[in-house]
A = this chain, B = another copy of it.
Amino acid sequence: MPPARRTTGATIGDVASRAGVSRATVSRVMNGLATVDPQIAARVRSAADELDYRPSAAARSLALGRTHTVGYLVPDLTNPAFHGAMRGLSLAAADEGYRVLVADSAERAADEAPLAIETRRRCDALVLCAPRMPQQELVELLPQLQPVILLNRNAEEAGLPLLNVDWASGMRDLLRHLTGLGHRRIAYLAGPPASASNTDRLSGLRNLPAGVELLELECGAMFTDGHEAAGRVLDAEVSAVMAFNDVVAVGLLGALHEFGTDVPGEISVTGFDDIPYARFTAPPLTTAAVPQEEMGRLAWQRLRAILAGGHPHDRVLIRPRLVTRASTARARSTPSGTTRSRS
């Protein structure tokens, strides 16, 4: 004899007997199949209401082979750059009865692959943001993960849909903006070395205009990284800094403020992403805007197309939009060689 653990509420069988029909009929009614006599349908519905019946998600998943769940794996759930996409994904998916299962690899590159597999097992599809995973590993992993859409990095080799940002173009726009303002000696606060998008950003900074110098400074992707980089930025005697992203830029702005350095008077600062805070920093941050929430929606569109039987191998490259705010200004006439304030 099997175990008799009926912890949950009414089952389809309960509704069936109460309405005096078969379970199949109840199922048809619950799923809105039109082939049911209205009289009976009504009886079933009221029986279901009276019993407060709700179909078991687990049982449906097993029978249908669908969990109605999308996975969303990111390296850090607290990073605001991922929130917009999460919301866009969640809202778009919810419109079609899908929910989002989140997973956080806690910036541990080694955990990304097993976590991705495990998460995918519980879902019908996966949105994968794994910036640190070695390219080789990623390309081998992706096929097992299907349906999957890769976020914020490239892996054309896998022939799978992906949603990437044209990091290089964004950096070029920012650079052009700065050189247009007369900046000639510019620092780039680099992201994590293993980060794919950091490499892409750098590729946008090749072929500098004549007379422009770029200094690459090690940094990272988080607030504290930007904050800690401020000293080195000042030492570098540059008139402008391009931060890896807005989060880093915000950390940097905070530290520069503490040093009493005037932004943009003494140094111009740019970010990347246009997180919601960027509008409200002091000064407001010039940045390359990435439509995060829309990317979440787009990711869902691709996945649902695959789930519906399609094969979109398309690789979408989102071009960021330059947003100029008050953190950048014309370079002072003597951009280098001057002694800067530093308490």
Contact of A280 among B59, B104, B227, B283 (CB under 8 A): B227
Asked whether, in the complex, the Cβ of A284 is within 8 Å of the Cβ of B59, the reply is no
CA–CA, A277 to B78, complex, Å?
Answer: 11
Q: Counting CB contacts under 8 A, is A281 at the interface?
A: yes
Q: Counting CB contacts under 8 A, is A67 at the interface?
A: yes
Asked whether, in the complex, the Cβ of B91 is within 8 Å of the Cβ of A104, the reply is yes
Q: Which residues on the B side are within 8 Å of A76 (C-beta)?
A: 87
Asked whether, in the complex, the Cβ of B78 is within 8 Å of the Cβ of A104, the reply is no
CA–CA, A223 to B117, complex, Å?
Answer: 37
A 109-157 contacts with B by CB, 8 A: 117, 119, 121-122
Asked whether, in the complex, the Cβ of B78 is within 8 Å of the Cβ of A83, the reply is yes
Contact of A8 among B7, B65, B293 (CB under 8 A): B65
Asked whether, in the complex, the Cβ of A94 is within 8 Å of the Cβ of B90, the reply is no
Contact of A62 among B59, B99, B277 (CB under 8 A): B59
Asked whether, in the complex, the Cβ of B65 is within 8 Å of the Cβ of A62, the reply is no
Asked whether, in the complex, the Cβ of B8 is within 8 Å of the Cβ of A101, the reply is no
Contact of A78 among B87, B94, B280 (CB under 8 A): B87
Q: Counting CB contacts under 8 A, is A106 at the interface?
A: yes
Q: Which residues on the B side are within 8 Å of A196 (C-beta)?
A: none
Q: Counting CB contacts under 8 A, is A316 at the interface?
A: no
Tell whether A65 pairs with B223 under 8 Å between CB atoms, given A83-B77, A86-B77, A279-B254.
no
Q: Counting CB contacts under 8 A, is A203 at the interface?
A: no
A 49-102 contacts with B by CB, 8 A: 54, 56-59, 61-62, 65, 67, 69, 76-78, 80, 83-84, 86-87, 90-91, 94, 99-102
Asked whether, in the complex, the Cβ of B103 is within 8 Å of the Cβ of A99, the reply is yes
A-side interface size class = 35 or more
CA–CA, A103 to B281, complex, Å?
Answer: 29
Q: Quote the shortest CB–CB distance from A84 to chain B (angstroms).
A: 6
CA–CA, A254 to B80, complex, Å?
Answer: 18
Asked whether, in the complex, the Cβ of A102 is within 8 Å of the Cβ of B103, the reply is no
Q: Counting CB contacts under 8 A, is A41 at the interface?
A: no
Closest to A6 in B: B65
Q: Counting CB contacts under 8 A, is A12 at the interface?
A: no
Q: Counting CB contacts under 8 A, is A236 at the interface?
A: no
Asked whether, in the complex, the Cβ of B65 is within 8 Å of the Cβ of A57, the reply is no
Tell whether A99 pairs with B77 under 8 Å between CB atoms, given A257-B282, A280-B227, A284-B254.
no
Q: List 16 A-B contacts (CB under 8 A).
A: A56-B62, A56-B121, A58-B58, A58-B61, A61-B61, A77-B83, A77-B87, A78-B276, A80-B80, A83-B83, A86-B102, A99-B101, A100-B103, A102-B102, A253-B280, A282-B282
Given A58-B58, A78-B87, A223-B279; 15 other pairs, CB 8 A cutoff: A57-B67, A61-B61, A77-B83, A78-B83, A99-B119, A101-B101, A101-B102, A223-B280, A227-B280, A253-B280, A254-B280, A254-B281, A277-B277, A281-B282, A282-B282
The 8 closest A-B pairs by CB, nearest first: A254-B280, A58-B61, A282-B282, A77-B87, A257-B282, A58-B62, A57-B122, A250-B280
